[in-house]
Structure 1
């Protein structure tokens, strides 16, 4: 399956004729789908055995990261860093003003796989926020879950929240239609939003929407993440 992309006006430059590519309708797969792909290749490993091995791998990676080590594999590299401002050379780490972030980079085998990825251009019928990746910065989960009280990143295009009207912001929409609005942002840029999941947001499954007024538009434009997000404690 090719990587589908479309062209939208580029909000990052002053040139009105500039366009940027954003990806659309590309399926996200999880562990179950990866294991099914493994089995389809004729592997003698059963699905249960493969899932068990994945879990052991996940536990080992988390344990190594918790020990403060970097990780480098053929698929990815992970290394923790410390962020925040230190007022002088003697100041120690303070969790109220400093944080530990995880940086992830693709490994050589993934880089080589992308080199052979085919693409397909699709027509963009309207300008609206494009939500591509929602990442829980605590767990590292992508387009799956977000942790109450923790910071979340949404990456994509045309995301910047314009103004303070109650009609704009990031909205978590429960199954019964109840909406929780996020209006305070650590980062508010066209390509990325950073914000905290409210402490009073109930555990459950949510649709996620970005609603904003785009440049040269008067009405609110709405973009939705293709995956439902599980809010966890």
Structure 2
């Protein structure tokens, strides 16, 4: 799913603290890949990070248990690696409905670098997969990625505003064909990355096999009602 602020948080103080931690970790990641500090300072920073880990590492949740702050029915996935406000790998991307599809803007730092000064191609695939899923959700379609292909028409520069778009091209039954693009925000008509994907809603027996063991944070059985990760959108 996409957005990062839909629905009311079950614990406002925890949401604030978790969001603050995500922001701090994003800053740490960017600092760690851009630092020119002396060796001793880098080593000292590593020790501080390990001390911080020790404060929060007790009793981690199992993979089949949703985080305390998540509510997929409300479109809230705070640890989504693209749109989650608490995930240190997420920019985070804020996706909104626009016209017959969805759009998002983002500026990526050196933490996303592949070739020097340019975005890693795998990151483009990650963001496009999310955007295509978001377009499906915006159209009232739900499913999981069955096929994704990208054409790289030009490199994406780092530290430069980008615009990402996606829309449903066609759908029939359980299948939806969706396309997306990435371009410079200053030249949105010149596509640098083009994506095409097939999203399929799993049959009920597959849904049960994939998600039947999922619980909420209290351990109650809570398989997602809408397979996929296309969360609620910011509408304005």
> Looking at CA atoms only, which structure, 1 or 2, has the larger radius of gyration?
1
TM-score range, shorter chain: under 0.3
| Bigger strand share | 1
Per residue, is there more helix in 1 or in 2? 2
Q: TM (normalized to structure 1)?
A: 0.26
